[in-house]
């Protein structure tokens, strides 16, 4: 089996799975992560989004080979309880969820947005999250949380 090498949350990782294996299955199955969630398996709901280099991509329909030699960041790599990412802090402050199943994907989409656009408008935040679905109706809280995080990151 060929090796696929990529950096996962900053750590060089080698996987000897079939390169056509779906990235989500590698992350959750072989590597045992629980940040990225399975929602639809078709790249439609965004619960499985991870950041590859600087872009949030759906890992449920991305083959392993597509991340070869790239940087993959999952929710586990965003921050910890001890050193939270401003987005994680803001989601707690805004109580920005009900069930929270979609949250890992939303956080990764938002993190990718803030990398590219440090001070997005509300409409830009919504547009960036349009390919993430939330069924509980927590959208507005999440948008507020992303804007709060952006403000937080801009404050020295």
Given 80, 116, 117, 119, the residue binding other proteins (CB under 8 A): 80
The smaller minimum CB distance to other proteins, of residues 7 and 131, is found at 131
Q: CA 110 to CA 126: how far, in whole Å?
A: 10
The smaller minimum CB distance to other proteins, of residues 20 and 156, is found at 20
The answer to the question of residue 99 lying near other proteins (CB under 8 A) is yes
The DSSP-derived string for 33-96 is --SS--S-SSSSS-TTEEEETTEEEETTS-BGGGGTTSEEE-GGGT--SSS--HHHHHHHHTT-
Q: CA 22 to CA 67: how far, in whole Å?
A: 11
Q: CA 53 to CA 143: how far, in whole Å?
A: 23
The answer to the question of residue 123 lying near other proteins (CB under 8 A) is yes
The smaller minimum CB distance to other proteins, of residues 52 and 102, is found at 102
Query: Which residues here bind other proteins, judged by CB under 8 A?
Result: 21-22, 25, 28-29, 32-35, 37-42, 44-45, 47, 74-76, 79-81, 84, 88, 91-92, 95, 97-104, 107, 123, 125-127, 129-130, 132-143
């Amino acid at each position: 089996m060929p090796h696929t090498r990529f950096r996962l949350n900053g750590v060089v990782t080698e996987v000897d799975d079939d390169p056509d294996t779906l990235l989500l299955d590698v992350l959750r199955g072989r590597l045992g992560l629980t940040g990225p969630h399975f929602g639809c398996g078709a790249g439609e709901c965004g619960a499985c989004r991870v950041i590859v280099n600087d872009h949030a991509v759906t890992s449920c329909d991305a083959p392993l080979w597509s991340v070869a030699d790239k940087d993959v960041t999952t929710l586990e790599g965003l921050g910890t309880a001890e050193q939270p990412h401003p987005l994680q802090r803001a989601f707690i402050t805004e109580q920005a969820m009900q069930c929270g199943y979609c949250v890992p994907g939303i956080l990764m989409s938002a993190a990718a947005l803030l990398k590219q656009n440090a001070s997005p408008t509300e409409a830009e935040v919504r547009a960036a999250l349009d390919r993430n679905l939330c069924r509980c109706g927590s959208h507005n809280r999440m948008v507020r949380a992303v804007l709060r995080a952006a403000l937080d990151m801009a404050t020295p």
